Structure 1
Amino acid sequence: MPLGPPHVARSDSRSAVLVGRRAELATLRAAVAAPPSLVLVEGEAGVGKSRLVGELLATPDLAGVRRLVGQCELLQEPLPLSPLLDAFRLAGPDLALSPPGNPVVGALAPLLPEVAEHLPAPLPALSDQLAERHRVFRAAIALLDHLSPLVLVLEDVHWADGGTQDFLAFLATYQPRELSVILTVRSGAGPLPVREAFARAPSGPARSIRLAPLRPPEVEQLASSILRTDVPAAFATSLYEKTGGIPFVVEEVLRTLPEHLPAGEIPGRPDVLADLAVPTVLRDVLLQRLSSLDHGAQEILRAAAVVGMTPDEGILAEVTGRGPAEIAEALAQAQAAGLLHEHDGGCRFRHRLAWQIVYESVATSSRRWLHLKTARALQSAGGPKPLAQLAHHFRLAGSAAEFVANAEAAADTALAHGNDATAARFLLQALQLGEPAGEVRVRLAVKLGKAAVDGLAQTQAVPILERLLATEPLPAGLRGELRFALGRLLRQHGAARAGYLQIEQAVPDLADRPGLLGRALAALAAPETVVDRHFSEHAVRCDQAEEAARRSGERGVHVAVRIARASLLLEQGDPASWRLIDELLRDDALRSAPREHARACLNWAQGALHIGQLRRAETLLAEGRRTADQAEYLRLAEVVELVAAAVDHALGRWKGLTDRLRRLSGFHPALPQPSHGTASHFAAASFDIRLLHGALLAATGPAEEATASLGDVVAVTERVGAVWPLISARTTLSRLLLTLGDAEGAASAATAALADVRAKGNWVWGAESVLCLTDALDAVGRTDEAGPLVDELGAGIGDADAPLAQAALLSARAVLLRARDAQQQADRLLVAAHTRLGEAGLRYQEATARERLGRWRCERGAADGGRILEDALRSYGELGADRDIARICRTMRSNGVAIPYPWRGGRPSHGRVLSSREREVALLAANGRTNQEIAEELFLSRRTVESHVASVLRKLGCRSRRELPAMMPLPVDGD
């Protein structure tokens, strides 16, 4: 079976055995033994990632499995997929024996001329670059499937370009069943975009194997293996101190020591290491090797380092002016010295550190000159221009104008391929390092504003756009375009009010650009983004946007405005929204713009969730996910998962939801403090993630954590002016405080939410707040004060098609009627609310309405009250709502209703079901026994009992031992 070349050529300085990696190798073997599997092998440079993978590939376990290895380069074209293509080239013999039959694989033929004769015929080119890219991705998946069972290794993925990262994310979703993928990644090399996709792969999250430096005993073992003799502890300790336990550095140091001392004497001479200063050991070693070459070879090798990690011999000959024979001799000398190794028929620097040390040995003035000559050589070569490499070399040559031109061209190419993140990085470099002239700077900034919204460079782009707007005299149209881009970036990063204000300021400047004006006004029509604009203002903006779209004559702008109109109507529960949404989903203009199509579906899905239209939300989520996947719109992956989590929360599918939210919450870098002073430490999506987490905690406990989480969301969203989820967070906090017996706190939170509702003018968003405030006032005997508020709510929502709001209105009216002793009328309204919630699929709200009805009926002696409470208890049990379980059990106890056992309906424990020992302790504590008495009865230490009691209180969401009697009997593990 084909096996890719090892990353580092084996030499006498390498240990014959793998040291200190037994557990990691076992993990790796287990992963590839059970495909499909994804593994990230992570660690700093030289720590042994490639060695570990090499040991795996050499194991007898893989004797019948193909093994392909590809190497990522430091410099990449926007979409080269070069490491994958390198791996496929190694499969030539296998493809010759068994050619793939899937015709889509023909899309790879132009990219793999070496094996094209074994592939299906090339396919006709597609006019749509994104479709072509997607077809290449599908072809690669099909070829991997054909070659399976297969272990695919891609080395140094931290250097992978955006296209390769995108393919890996695609592969994580569509991984063949008999494929194992292993990526080696350098820690500290910055964020790895594919990490999130690997964490959420359908086959299961990728395993991460982190390699740490060796410990002193392991360095001793490694040195003993390399030197083939026992190494005294003193030598090993000195070696560890000088090398930091990095295996590669240990090997390099031990390679050079025989030059100073006979090998047999080395173990007894720890002083031999004294001259090797830390942390420059490796630099000294490799510079020594470099100096061992003849003068001409040194010059050629230094030029090779400027050309790149894998220098092209033709380019190198042109840069140095040397002939092919002299170039070949110099590279052979460097390979013999261990500075290079053979790679894919050519030479490559043996390690990134080897390249870096040789590169840095070039004098600065010579380095700039060599970069310029390399750029000129690349320019004069035939074929497509390697724009990324040209930009790199011109930048380091100090040729600012040529660097900016090539960086902009590379960005344009990346944008044409849908690779916004790569485009944004090129544009950032051009703006930050190139210092282009004013007109060019503005043009680049406009492109950056567009690319950064969908790329990964929002944080860096914001200050650049702000500085341009503050210092550059711009014509109105350009100033408006920059403000619009800046506003979108700020909103995307969580600074809702600041972003909204920027877009508002852009509107006058865009008067003569109706297309952009229509889009800016459509953005201002979105009601959920800012707290201090009334719905009527959003409606006016939407009308203005329609007029601008009409003036522009652009179909895309017209569609964008209709999307905004649908969202505006949807958030108010207007039935007309669904007619407009259905029309748009059938509109070819929207369907031909897959990114806009996907964004619209996800925005509408969120709006449907806001009003309680869960089935519509599920349908829109599915279409948004499918469209985003087809368009390979990777930036939306997080939004898709967020909306999916929100839908699952609303539908009561809570299993594993906490872990999903934790994973989602880990991808929100902080936004630096901009000049407007409204920075948020959360990206916009993080608001919703934290709200969901807080709402889940409010039902599952512990209460303190839920209160803190919701309070955090309130504080941040209030500061940045984001109306959603401010109102919802305050409402959820109000309900939580009410269950904790803090009626005054609950009333205060609900009142604050209603102030936001009135300012916004959308009572559909305020119905739950009205119910919370009504309950709070009822708890303190001031129910009558809620009457006018409930009437105001009824007038505000009218006949809105919003199940959540309508059910809250019915419940609030029921509370008022019950306070007036109209018990039967109150029950009828509450039953109607319960029915509406059930029909909508809002399981948690349905359970709370059932609990309320059961409690009311028990309190007035109705025979079915206990059964209704029991039904509510089982619903909470299925959800895992432990705090609600604790509360309803107290209610049942106080009303003389027997608690059924077991009651949880087989739900997963979520880590909150008591163990047998905890149950014993809880029962005794509930009967009034002290910790000392429990300890004596169960033959435990007092400290152990205290630990059990604390665990019981935490799991059950109880604030003190006094609440335990209401909680017994309790479920036990294994019930």
Structure 2
Amino acid sequence: MSSGPARVAPYGSLSDVLVGRQAELALLRTAIAAAPSLALIEGEAGIGKSRLVGELFATPELAGARRLVGQCEQLQDPLPLSPLLDAFRLAGGELARARPANPVVGALAPLLPEIAKHLPPPLPPLPDQRAERHRVFRAAVALLEHLSPLVLVLEDVHWADGGTHDFLAFLAAHQPRDLSVILTVRTGTGLLPIREAFARAPSGPARVVTLTPLTRPEADELARRILQADLPGTFAALLYEKTGGIPFVVEELLRTLLERLPANEIPGRPDVLTGLAVPTVLRDVVLQRLSSLDDPVREILEAAAVIGMTPDDRILAEVTERDAAEVAKALGRAQAAGLLHEEDGGCRFRHALARQIVYESVAVSGRRWLHLKTARALESAGPKPVARLAHHYRLAGRPADFVSNAEAAADTALFHGNDATAARFLLQALEIGELSGEVRVRLAVKLGRAAVDGLAHAEAVPILERLLATEPLPAHLRGELRFALGRLLRQHGEAWAGYLQIESAVGDLAGRPALLGRALAVLAAPETIVDRHVGEHAARCDEAESAARRSGDRDVGVAVRIARASLLLEQGDPASWRLIDELRRDEGLSGAPREHARACLNWAQGALRVGRLDRAEALLAEGRQVADQAEYLRVAEVVELVTAAVDRAAGRWDGLEPRIRRPAGTAATFAAASLDSRLLRGALLAAMGPAEEAVACLGEVITVAGRVGAVWPLISARVTLARLLLTLDDAAGAIEHATAALALVRAKGIWVWGAETVLVLVDALGSAEMADAAALVAELGAGIDGADAPLAQAAALSARAVLARSRGDLPEADRLLDAARATLQEAGLRYEEALAAERLGRWRCESGAATGGPLLESALRLYGSMGADRDLARVSRIMRQNGVPIPYPWRGGRPSHGQTLSSREREVALLAAEGRTNQEIATALFLSRRTVESHIASALRKLGLPSRKELRGLTALP
């Protein structure tokens, strides 16, 4: 039996056999077997992501494969593509043999001076930084294609800068056919912005290889291979308890024990594990190994930990004031101790945790001194790496040096279009208490510009508010800060507060017509704010056009025209489509892809509000395409939301409710999108059930929208809840909510938003109040006269039909309602069409017309295709009451058991008959509440019972 460990395997592992990862290795091998392909390897620190990659390339099929490996550093550099550029530098020899033919690769030459002689000549700079960034992306893809067949590996992508994330999204959409890409990423670091791009890559979605801790048997096997001995149960249990099955921790713990005891003695000594506590075991292991080194080696290693994961030998020598030979010897000793390993000809910490533990072992005063020496060494090395300098000066306790470098790093990040990185640097700089008022204002103005697209809303808002409250600012800066704050508040869901901030900025921006035009264009949007009449929005739009002309700025002119088109669209003005089509062809809009994408998505939402589904689908497709091409990942939530809204309007409800939940989550980037998502979910639940959940969801939207002053969600939520309450026989509640919605419509003056409100009120008011209802319908008709708004026109026709029927004019009522149904059918609004068909079918059945039955059946099939179970139960009851046979199966797909209850439906119905609530039934049967609601609705339909209360007391069911 061996008294020492097995031979050293890849990445410094003590085991020469990969344990517990065969399935993951096979999945990874399959994932990249047929290029082009994408693979994400996920797992916590120390789980073995890099080891899995190493084992992949040790397989016979890939042992000779050409590969480039780039490493993302924990310090975020605002210069995009740094890990990719590091990988390209390794290809110098290959490029020396065959220079790339594509001249666009020359765009990389200034970024890769080490291998520039092997690249095409540099290209002249482009005036537009976005175009320059796009060209660099194209050049990187072209170089990868030239080097293909190739496997590109980027490790620790959770530390990548925003530019690298954007490039990877671009690469997913333009991947060379002979390229495979592998990314390793640590879990628990948030949602990577590239995930969506990789999920919908043209080559197919990325394969995700998830690594979890080893199971107890796998951890036992790993330990047996390292110790070359069987493990008694006591030792194995304690080992697993101490390590949690994380391979790196298992190996580091055993590495330390092997220094104390012969391998064959360790399994019989479980007591040696008792002094190592989880989760500090890894720290103990590393610190024990660190203490085994002599002082000079330890000092050099500590300096290396301050410098970074892969310390530069020259910088390390300067910081430690040692010669190159002494540094090399010390690094060799640290490598022998297992703290470092060799990679690409240099030394690197074996693991980020190892570096962190060594770093934290240095006294705070010593760390500050080392950071200061590192910063000075970096400054003497040539072009200033301002991001790294900011990092080191901040930790060195040099605020002035930190702020100047942080501001420079933010400027560089903004220059490269990396707003998020810029915002983070500026936020850190603004935390410094000793800033002068002038510097603080300058940084805050830059933060206001960066934070709108930089995802720093929660951090930026209080800083801007504090500056506006405490600093004596010149008018033009005060106006710019108020405008920035207003936009941030609006995106944060605070519609009313944001609107007021922008209103207050208008006077201060009189001398800056370009910014004034943009501010007024935002104020022209009607859908986000209560207590402002559409006439006021129109006046703001006129003022914006005047400011845009004074500015002479074409981009501002385009922004104002977008606002004008949106304002007209919300009113159902047919002229809006002409203006929208002109803008879609305008080079000013197409040359600003972010503005273009946002405009199309906003117009798509406006088109849905007026019922133009055809236009909404076209605008959504264009907005998604533009956002994809521009790698504008920030609007991904909005794209998802609008897609769900379009699918809801079109009746494509299968799997829709879970999709709607995502933008409504607490991690949503756009609070306004979260509110709209909850509204959409409430409307869906009102049709599908459970009803009590729909009421709660819509009530929450009303509360939040009322608090923040968001008018469209507030009107829509109230009218949807009013319609739902009518189906629950709560006419008083329906009238209350519909009346409140009508007051908002009148205050806004946009009647295409109020048509459904009027219809609900006409339905809810009794015959004695038909005079009031007729006045409402007349007011609505005047408000939507000439509007291109199928939803509003159909609701108005339906309301007029109800009035005609109340007067006893049944033919006119039938004609009007049939026209409403035809309008909705032509518009493709399937759910509203089903509602109209149900109403018309019921009326005709009640009057004895034979054509009523087919209409009810068509409503039944439409509801069934959408899964609108609550509506299905209601229309089935109407059909039975009128002697209309219910066809089975009425929606292709799952069997319906005809008129007979399924075993599950009978089980649920009997529990309901006992008086149990849906939640109690769900708990007892291990079902969701929604499934219980569906089973009860189906049972009531088959039994011909009008409501759930009719089940009470039943002890047997057919």
String of CA shifts for 1:248-285, please: whole Å, max 9, x gaps: 12211211212222222111111223343544333333
Tell me the amino acid that sits aligned with residue 437 of structure 1.
S
Tell me by how many angstroms 1:469 deviates: 1.8
Tell me by how many angstroms 1:12 deviates: 7.6
Find the counterpart in structure 2 of residue 377 from structure 1. 377
Q: TM-score, normalised by structure 2?
A: 0.90
Which of 682, 696, 699 pairs up with 2:687? 699
Name structure 2 gaps, 5 residues minimum.
Answer: 1-7, 915-920, 947-958
Q: Aligned with 1:454: secondary structure?
A: coil
Tell me the amino acid that sits aligned with residue 722 of structure 1.
A
Find the counterpart in structure 1 of residue 792 from structure 2. 805
String of CA shifts for 1:14-34, please: whole Å, max 9, x gaps: 223333445544544554457
Find the counterpart in structure 2 of residue 414 from structure 1. 413
1:751 equivalent to 2:739? Answer yes
Find the counterpart in structure 2 of residue 902 from structure 1. 889
Tell me the amino acid that sits aligned with residue 605 of structure 1.
A
Tell me by how many angstroms 1:424 deviates: 0.7
1:921 equivalent to 2:903? Answer yes
CA gap of 1:457–1:930, structure 2 versus 1, over 3 A, is closer
Find the counterpart in structure 1 of residue 841 from structure 2. 854
Tell me the amino acid that sits aligned with residue 849 of structure 1.
A
For 2:927 and 2:222, the matched residues in 1 are separated by 49
For 1:370 and 1:138, the matched residues in 2 are separated by 40
Tell me by how many angstroms 1:184 deviates: 2.2
For 2:922 and 2:801, the matched residues in 1 are separated by 48
Tell me by how many angstroms 1:206 deviates: 4.7
Q: Aligned with 2:153: secondary structure?
A: strand
CA gap of 1:835–1:400, structure 2 versus 1, over 3 A, is same
Give 1:144-293 correspondences, 5 Å limit: 144=144, 151-175=151-175, 180-199=180-199, 201=201, 206=206, 208-293=208-293
Tell me by how many angstroms 1:180 deviates: 4.8
Give 1:427-442 correspondences, 5 Å limit: 427-433=426-432, 435-442=434-441
- Whether contact under 8 Å (2:130, 2:416) holds in the other structure is yes
Tell me the amino acid that sits aligned with residue 399 of structure 2.
A
For 1:80 and 1:669, the matched residues in 2 are separated by 25
Tell me by how many angstroms 1:410 deviates: 1.1
String of CA shifts for 1:567-597, please: whole Å, max 9, x gaps: 2221111223223333333444333333223
Find the counterpart in structure 1 of residue 404 from structure 2. 405
- Whether contact under 8 Å (1:642, 1:664) holds in the other structure is yes
Tell me by how many angstroms 1:307 deviates: 1.6
Find the counterpart in structure 2 of residue 596 from structure 1. 595
Give 1:610-629 correspondences, 5 Å limit: 610-629=609-628
Tell me the amino acid that sits aligned with residue 622 of structure 2.
E
Q: Aligned with 1:154: secondary structure?
A: strand
Find the counterpart in structure 2 of residue 314 from structure 1. 314
For 1:300 and 1:166, the matched residues in 2 are separated by 37
Q: Aligned with 1:693: secondary structure?
A: helix
For 2:705 and 2:912, the matched residues in 1 are separated by 44
Find the counterpart in structure 2 of residue 500 from structure 1. 499
Find the counterpart in structure 2 of residue 662 from structure 1. 661
Tell me by how many angstroms 1:112 deviates: 5.1
- Whether contact under 8 Å (1:668, 1:686) holds in the other structure is no
String of CA shifts for 1:705-750, please: whole Å, max 9, x gaps: 3332222222211121111211112222222222333333322222
Find the counterpart in structure 1 of residue 949 from structure 2. none
Moved more, 105-114 or 354-363: 105-114
CA gap of 1:538–1:890, structure 2 versus 1, over 3 A, is same
- Whether contact under 8 Å (2:57, 2:65) holds in the other structure is no
For 2:806 and 2:708, the matched residues in 1 are separated by 40
Moved more, 294-303 or 407-416: 294-303
CA gap of 1:945–1:419, structure 2 versus 1, over 3 A, is closer
Find the counterpart in structure 2 of residue 512 from structure 1. 511
RMSD between superposed Cα atoms in Å: 3.4
Find the counterpart in structure 1 of residue 540 from structure 2. 541
Tell me the amino acid that sits aligned with residue 498 of structure 2.
G
- Whether contact under 8 Å (1:702, 1:957) holds in the other structure is no
For 1:932 and 1:746, the matched residues in 2 are separated by 29
- Whether contact under 8 Å (2:371, 2:395) holds in the other structure is yes
Tell me by how many angstroms 1:814 deviates: 0.7
For 1:65 and 1:966, the matched residues in 2 are separated by 69
Tell me by how many angstroms 1:347 deviates: 1.5
Tell me by how many angstroms 1:694 deviates: 2.1
- Whether contact under 8 Å (2:905, 2:939) holds in the other structure is no
Tell me by how many angstroms 1:314 deviates: 1.9
Q: Aligned with 1:338: secondary structure?
A: coil
Give 1:885-964 correspondences, 5 Å limit: 885-904=872-891, 906=892, 919-921=901-903, 947=925, 954=932, 956=934, 958=936, 961-964=939-942
CA gap of 1:303–1:199, structure 2 versus 1, over 3 A, is same
1:648 equivalent to 2:647? Answer yes
Tell me by how many angstroms 1:448 deviates: 0.8
Name structure 1 gaps, 5 residues minimum.
Answer: 1-7, 671-681, 934-942, 969-975
Q: Aligned with 2:803: secondary structure?
A: helix
Tell me by how many angstroms 1:403 deviates: 1.0
Q: TM-score, normalised by structure 1?
A: 0.88
- Whether contact under 8 Å (2:900, 2:942) holds in the other structure is no
For 2:190 and 2:903, the matched residues in 1 are separated by 49
Find the counterpart in structure 2 of residue 772 from structure 1. 760
- Whether contact under 8 Å (1:595, 1:628) holds in the other structure is yes
Tell me by how many angstroms 1:961 deviates: 4.8
Moved more, 793-802 or 943-952: 943-952
- Whether contact under 8 Å (1:850, 1:872) holds in the other structure is yes
1:815 equivalent to 2:802? Answer yes
1:884 equivalent to 2:871? Answer yes
1:135 equivalent to 2:101? Answer no
- Whether contact under 8 Å (1:922, 1:964) holds in the other structure is no
Tell me the amino acid that sits aligned with residue 902 of structure 2.
E
- Whether contact under 8 Å (1:889, 1:899) holds in the other structure is yes
Which of 818, 824, 839 pairs up with 1:837? 824
Moved more, 950-959 or 581-590: 950-959
String of CA shifts for 1:870-898, please: whole Å, max 9, x gaps: 22323333333333333222222222222
String of CA shifts for 1:474-494, please: whole Å, max 9, x gaps: 223222221211111011011
Q: Aligned with 2:902: secondary structure?
A: helix
1:341 equivalent to 2:319? Answer no
Tell me by how many angstroms 1:392 deviates: 0.7
Tell me the amino acid that sits aligned with residue 704 of structure 2.
V
Tell me the amino acid that sits aligned with residue 456 of structure 1.
L
Tell me by how many angstroms 1:228 deviates: 0.8
String of CA shifts for 1:749-808, please: whole Å, max 9, x gaps: 222211211221211111111112222236x87555421111111122221121111111
1:965 equivalent to 2:955? Answer no
- Whether contact under 8 Å (1:886, 1:967) holds in the other structure is no
Moved more, 628-637 or 80-89: 80-89
Q: Aligned with 2:167: secondary structure?
A: helix
- Whether contact under 8 Å (1:530, 1:721) holds in the other structure is yes
Q: Aligned with 1:237: secondary structure?
A: helix
Moved more, 185-194 or 723-732: 185-194
- Whether contact under 8 Å (2:513, 2:550) holds in the other structure is yes
- Whether contact under 8 Å (2:9, 2:15) holds in the other structure is no
CA gap of 1:302–1:956, structure 2 versus 1, over 3 A, is closer
Q: Aligned with 2:375: secondary structure?
A: helix
CA gap of 1:847–1:256, structure 2 versus 1, over 3 A, is same
String of CA shifts for 1:668-692, please: whole Å, max 9, x gaps: 359xxxxxxxxxxx71111122222
For 1:923 and 1:325, the matched residues in 2 are separated by 80
CA gap of 1:128–1:949, structure 2 versus 1, over 3 A, is closer
For 1:635 and 1:920, the matched residues in 2 are separated by 47
For 1:707 and 1:200, the matched residues in 2 are separated by 35
Tell me by how many angstroms 1:49 deviates: 2.5
- Whether contact under 8 Å (2:664, 2:675) holds in the other structure is no
For 1:851 and 1:750, the matched residues in 2 are separated by 22
1:688 equivalent to 2:676? Answer yes
- Whether contact under 8 Å (2:80, 2:416) holds in the other structure is no
For 1:149 and 1:900, the matched residues in 2 are separated by 59
1:864 equivalent to 2:851? Answer yes
